[in-house]
Structure 1
Amino acid sequence: MGKGKISFDEVLAFLTTRKNLLDAVVLSGGECTMHKNLIPFVEQIKALGFDVKVDTNGSNPEVLQQLMAKELIDFVALDFKASESKYIKVTQSNLFSAFEKSLHLLLQNKIPFEVRTTFHSDLIDEPELRSMIRYLENKQYSGDYYIQHFVNNVETIGDLPRSSREIEKNFFTTRTIQVNFRG
């Protein structure tokens, strides 16, 4: 649809016409958990019979907890932006503890989820990526960890040059974490 605004009512009207044609709705960003009416909106989507996936950076663990407690979401994609030592530099925010709380909530619940990181060579290098994988292992995360390449020429945290280095893909998978590359 591109940029612009569409109301919740318009989305719900559209989804009503797609019942039995679509299975699920993905709520993505910006950061969808920042919207003040997210929970009633998701309740309406679920009432239409759709599964719901949430893409989040984990910055609002309280909202994530409410969505899980009400059984309103079926899958979560959690963006792991950087290790604690580089989090502020990469995100220009001090939200690592919120991310960590969201990860903990997901690990303690039965909802399926994935962890993913967007790679840009000027922000995350291979040692940082290895540190992030060790962090996930220390938190008892196991399963798939997705690395996706940064898409250039989009508005972001600043003016970044093209991501210049490729990642050596063969050396990241561990006993408990399967590293997968997207894009």
Structure 2
Amino acid sequence: MAILKPIYSITPFTMLDYPGHTACIIWFAGCNMRCGYCHNPDIVLGKGKISVEETVSFFMSRRALLEGVVFSGGECTLHPFLLNLAQAARSLGYRIKIDTNGSRPDRLKKLLDLELVDYIALDFKATRDKYQEITHANTWSAFVESLNLIRHADVAFEVRTTWHQDLLSPNDLVTMVHFLETNGYRGNYYIQHFVNGVPTLGRLNESWGRLKADNLSTSHIQVVLR
């Protein structure tokens, strides 16, 4: 029987990807979106190289060094093995962060119901009108369901958007802030500038646009630029 290898690679140590905790990053191969600005084309289009068993062994070897595990990708929630790995990480005492595009609210709900996640970073890709054009996926309703699910859960989370001036205008971002506000979101909304000069999934011009957080923030939502 072939050994399934859903993991593309492992970053053994990070102090940036899990706020307040030392962690590793588990990069799941594959994604159901094709965002042109994606800076992980090898992961999105690539095959897995590391098995579940090898990943669990890695968890065991790093217990004295790490506080958390970040499951990312690609899109980690596409993989049924995510649940097994989260259970293994939790049994070893790790805190768990999920990076997700929100397209699988059923998997997020299962993780939340089983108390297998401590922090969620939810990608808000675009306005409803531009969502399919940018992601090449028909998952807007799933994203909204994930947002509402996370918003009502007792777990820390953030909402974030990658901004490229050719894909989203400042007015689009205003629309996205308004959408979050009218859906009951309160707190920080992180907008990260597209990084020029790195390999991406699509062919995009360099993005030199600049935003001002004060022009986007509201009384309920504080826009934070990264």
Normalised-by-shorter TM-score class? over 0.9
Secondary structure of residue in 1 paired with 2:138: coil
On the 8 A contact 2:52/2:81 being kept in 1, the answer is no
Equivalent residue number for residue 175 of structure 2 = 131
Please, which runs of 5 or more residues in structure 2 have no aligned partner? 1-9, 12-41, 43-47
**Correspondence for 1:117:** 161
Which consecutive unaligned segments of at least 5 residues does structure 1 have?
Answer: none
State the partner residue of 2:137: 93
Select between 14-23 and 114-123 the one with higher mean Cα deviation. 14-23
Could you tell me which of 45, 50, 54 is aligned with 2:94?
50
Residue equivalent to 2:82: 38
Q: Which amino acid aligns with 2:113?
A: A
Q: C-alpha offsets along residues 73-108 of structure 1, whole Å, 9 cap, x if unaligned?
A: 000000000011110111111111000000010111
2:87 partner letter: E
Partner Cα separation in structure 1 for residue 85 and residue 116 of structure 2:
10
Could you tell me which residue of structure 2 aligns to residue 143 of structure 1? 187
Greater RCO (Cα-Cα under 8 Å, separation 6 or more) = 2
Displacement of 1:149 after TM fit? Answer: 1.3
Match of 1:154 among 192, 195, 199: 199
Greater Cα shift, 130-139 or 165-174: 165-174
For 1:30, give the aligned amino acid: G
State how 1:102-113 maps to structure 2 within 5 Å. 102-113=146-157
Runs of 4+ in structure 1 displaced over 3 angstroms?
A: 1-4
Normalised to the residue count of structure 2, the TM-score between the two structures is 0.77
The alpha-carbon deviation at position 155 of structure 1 amounts to: 2.7
**RMSD (Å), alpha carbons:** 1.4
Identity value in percent? 44
Matched, 1:166 2:207: no
What SS is found at the alignment partner of 1:25? strand
Letter in 2 for 1:85: D
Aligned match of 2:59: 15
Equivalent residue, structure 2, for 1:24: 68
Instruction: Give the number of equivalent residue pairs.
Output: 181
Structure 2 residue identity aligned to 1:119: W
**Deviations along 1:13-61, whole A, 9 cap, x unmatched?**
1221211321000001100000121111110111011000000000000
> One-letter code of the match for 2:78?
M
